[in-house]
Amino acid sequence: MKKILIAGMPGVGKSTIFRLLVKNRVTSSNYPGTKISVERGIFKVDGEDVELIDIPGTYGLTHLYENEVVARKILIEEKPDVMIQVADTKNLKRMLAFTGQLAEFKIPLVLVLNMVDEADQMGLKVKRHILEEKLGTVVIETIATDSVGIAALHSAILKAKVPQFPVKLTPALTEINSSLEEMMSNEIKSRKALASLCLADASETSEWAIEQGGMKGDKTVAAHREKARLLFHRPLDRVLAEAREYVANKIFHESTFMTPVRSTPLMERIGDYARGTVSGVVILLIVMIALYYIVGQFAAGFVVDFMMNDFFGKIIGTPLNAMVDLIPYSFIREMIMGKYGLFTMGLVPSLGLVLPILIAFYFTFGFIEDSGYISRLSILLDRLFKKIGLNGKALLPIMLGFSCVSMATIATRVLETRKERLIAIFLLSLGIPCTAKLSIILVILAKVSFGAFLTVFGVIFSLMIISGLILSKMLPTDTSQFIMDVPPIRIPSLRNVIKQTYHRSTNFVKEALPLFFAGAISLFTLDKIGFLALVERGMAPVIVGFLGLPERFAESLIMGFIRGEAGVAILQQLVDDGTMNSRQLVVAMIVTILFIPCVTNFLLVIKEHGSKAAFAIIASVTACAILTGGAMNHILNYFNIVY
């Protein structure tokens, strides 16, 4: 079966085009020995099945970042028949420099100019036929979000040719490169690329290239490397990159032209304001307030009240209760409609309590995500993140954490140092509740006051900043550089947002509903054998004495570790029963958010960083949750604060 690679820099729409080509026939797995996920899929080209491999997005191929290591290994080891490079048309000059690096692998290539509509808004026009002539291969224009140009891409794969990219080096460096190529077997198609990688500044990269070129142990290679190093007073990677950039700049100017943009469009000005120090904070506050009212008030208040009281309480609950009462066995009646019944703890919390808020959150977040605002928020928060040992890239896993902390833990792989990944995972475990968990928290806080909301999240935010500052000092490693493409601010596509919301919501139902039922059965069984009562009595000195909360709060913590939102659903029952006052609710919310995430996330942390780091994070987070909750309990009572 033929193989096609799809490559490109991060944020160019590469994975979107991959999904459009292969549709649902996708498998995903970590590249051997790494934490980098590589997706593969099957699609038809000219009636034949072809394997499409989505290699990691990368800005280059010479450094030791895991995504670059995996990308260059796949380029050499998979021996692809064709390569598709997806490029952001708005940043075509930089994209063409990467084309120059890919051209050295001597693989037939199709250049895909994605987001041509956004480039058009900026006044950038591409003379596609001239670009094809300069590169010597086919160039396709696409708008991936609207599936425009995908059919043309299908046809273009058969026309792919090895691109021309005439990089001019100094005579001495050209001679060294040629000598390295001649030392390799003629069967190696990517000799030129390996010769360049042999001169890489990172010794691991050059050693790998030397081995791939069949030159391991040859002292002549070391002599060539040393000779090349003495020719320049700066890194050879930079020398080669500048040579490609010179050619890319020349091709760019010959194949593009600008049309005048008479005035700065309103959306572009909003995008500029979103990055400003003062205006950016104002816009962030507006976004946060909008999220609070849409998700916290409308969805968590009005919609949830209807679902819980009217739909599940009367329309479904009343006739179901009547039917269950006809069952002669009390054990079965309790299993269905009791305190820990399948209906009471399984169906109602998942579909009546969590799902409405999830839909509202996914829709609102999808709207923000599709607008291009997230990258500007990353730039705005980069300075703050640097103080806690991270950079703007950390916004991605942090934002994903509000969807699923386990998924966000995997997303920390985008961070380039172990220090950054550990800090991000600790902060995710400490203070970022997943959407399902957050949804019930918002329902509870909506019944108290806005002051309670500010207190809970003010404490959480302050604690995360303090923890980050401490960890940044404890793990003294340099923070990596922050480089991010900034897409234009755009009016979100309602169709895309609805589609994303639908897929995310249905995935939640498929995954969470069985777990809610399993949790209900577990609690029902533990209650019947007396285990819950035993745990409550054992934890009473801490729960009741130190935190000032009811004994049953222990159930919430236990179930929260199994499934976060299931634990908070028990907390919702305590609220409905009137068991806690407003002070206790604030303390309970703080402890619930700070307490360790679900067992899935715990296992993922072990997988990512080992059991030692995982248990250290769990112990620290648990201690922080209990101590902060106890401190807040005593402060609120001492000052007699009421919400």
List pLDDT tens digits, range 175-213: 998 999 989 988 888 999 999 999 887 778 888 999 998
State the residue range of the domain holding 175.
Answer: 171-258
Any idea which residue has 């079965």 for tokens? 332
**Residue 404 clears pLDDT 80, i.e. is over it:** no
Helix (H), strand (E) at residue 44? strand 37-45
- Reported residue count of the chain is 643
> Helices 435-446 & 582-594, crossing angle to 10 degrees?
170
Does any domain span residue 300?
yes
576 and 465 share a domain? yes
Closest CA to 591 of 635, 624, 639, 545: 624
**pLDDT digit string (tens) for 7-59?**
999 878 898 899 889 876 778 787 887 767 788 999 988 888 999 999 988 88
Q: What is the pLDDT of residue 557?
A: 82
Between 229-233, 243-247, 530-534, 568-572, the lowest mean confidence (pLDDT) is in: 568-572
**CA–CA distance from 493 to each of 123, 399, 500 (Å)?**
22, 20, 11
Buried b or exposed e, range 330-369, using 16+ CB within 10 angstroms: eeebbbbbbebbbbbbbbbbbbbbbbbbbbbbbbbbbbbb
Q: What is the pLDDT of residue 436?
A: 67
Does any domain span residue 643?
no
**Residue 481 clears pLDDT 90, i.e. is over it:** no
Does any domain span residue 540?
yes
150 and 193 share a domain? no
Boundary (domain end) residue, out of 258, 287, 306? 258
**Residue 157 clears pLDDT 70, i.e. is over it:** yes
Between 96-110, 163-177, 288-302, the lowest mean confidence (pLDDT) is in: 288-302
246 and 295 share a domain? no
Q: What is the mean pLDDT of residues 386-407?
A: 78
The two most distant CA atoms of the chain are separated, in Å, by 94
189 and 89 share a domain? no
Between 279-293, 443-457, 512-526, 560-574, the lowest mean confidence (pLDDT) is in: 560-574
Boundary (domain end) residue, out of 159, 185, 210? 159
* Three-class SS state of 6: strand
508 and 602 share a domain? yes
Q: What is the pLDDT of residue 462?
A: 94
Q: Which two tokens mark 345?
A: 């703890």
Between 4-13, 32-41, 162-171, 484-493, the lowest mean confidence (pLDDT) is in: 484-493
**pLDDT digit string (tens) for 325-358?**
888 888 899 999 987 789 987 888 788 877 887 7
Q: What is the pLDDT of residue 86?
A: 96
Any idea which residue has 């000598």 for tokens? 179
How sure is the predictor about 475, in pLDDT bands with cuts at 50, 70 and 90? Answer: confident
How sure is the predictor about 406, in pLDDT bands with cuts at 50, 70 and 90? Answer: low
Measure the CA–CA gap between 522 and 516, rounded to whole angstroms. 10
Measure the CA–CA gap between 356 and 350, rounded to whole angstroms. 9
Asked if 191 and 79 count as a contact pair (C-beta separation under 8 A), the reply is no
For 413, what's the count of Cα atoms within 13 Å in the CB-facing half-sphere? 18
**pLDDT digit string (tens) for 58-98?**
888 888 777 888 899 999 988 999 999 999 999 999 999 99
225 and 97 share a domain? no
Measure the CA–CA gap between 454 and 285, rounded to whole angstroms. 13
138 and 178 share a domain? no
Q: Which two tokens mark 96?
A: 């063409």
What mean pLDDT is reported for the chain? 85
**Residue 313 clears pLDDT 60, i.e. is over it:** yes
The domain that holds 185 is classified in CATH as 1.10.287.1770
**Residue 153 clears pLDDT 70, i.e. is over it:** yes
Q: Output 390 or 233, whichever has higher pLDDT.
A: 390
Does any domain span residue 333?
yes
How sure is the predictor about 480, in pLDDT bands with cuts at 50, 70 and 90? Answer: low
Sign of the alpha-carbon dihedral angle for 365, 369, 375, 377 = negative
**Residue 166 clears pLDDT 80, i.e. is over it:** yes
Asked if 415 and 390 count as a contact pair (C-beta separation under 8 A), the reply is yes
Asked if 360 and 298 count as a contact pair (C-beta separation under 8 A), the reply is yes
Does any domain span residue 265?
no
Measure the CA–CA gap between 122 and 119, rounded to whole angstroms. 5
Q: What is the pLDDT of residue 483?
A: 67
Q: Output 556 or 621, whichever has higher pLDDT.
A: 621
Asked if 78 and 5 count as a contact pair (C-beta separation under 8 A), the reply is yes
Asked if 111 and 33 count as a contact pair (C-beta separation under 8 A), the reply is no
98 and 190 share a domain? no
Q: What is the pLDDT of residue 83?
A: 96
Boundary (domain end) residue, out of 101, 132, 159? 159
249 and 284 share a domain? no
244 and 286 share a domain? no
324 and 247 share a domain? no
Torsion of CA 590, 593, 596, 602, to 10 degrees: -170
Does any domain span residue 166?
no
Does any domain span residue 297?
yes
**pLDDT digit string (tens) for 521-580?**
887 888 888 887 787 788 888 998 899 998 888 878 877 776 666 677 777 777 777 788
Any idea which residue has 């995500």 for tokens? 369
Query: How many independent structural domains does the chain possess?
Result: 3
Q: What is the mean pLDDT of residues 613-635?
A: 91
What are the two backbone dihedrals, phi and then psi, of residue 476, each rounded to the nearest 5 degrees?
Answer: -75, 80
The domain that holds 8 is classified in CATH as 3.40.50.300
Q: What is the pLDDT of residue 365?
A: 81
Q: What is the pLDDT of residue 106?
A: 94
534 and 630 share a domain? yes
Asked if 4 and 41 count as a contact pair (C-beta separation under 8 A), the reply is no
What is the arrangement of strands in the sheet containing 48-54, beginning at the earlier edge strand? 26-30, 37-45, 48-54, 2-8, 82-88, 109-114, 139-141
Q: What is the pLDDT of residue 458?
A: 93
For 183, which DSSP code?
A: T
Q: What is the pTM of this model?
A: 0.64
Does any domain span residue 583?
yes
Q: What is the mean pLDDT of residues 127-151?
A: 93
Q: What is the pLDDT of residue 530?
A: 82
Q: What is the pLDDT of residue 599?
A: 66
Q: What percent of the chain has pLDDT over 90?
A: 28
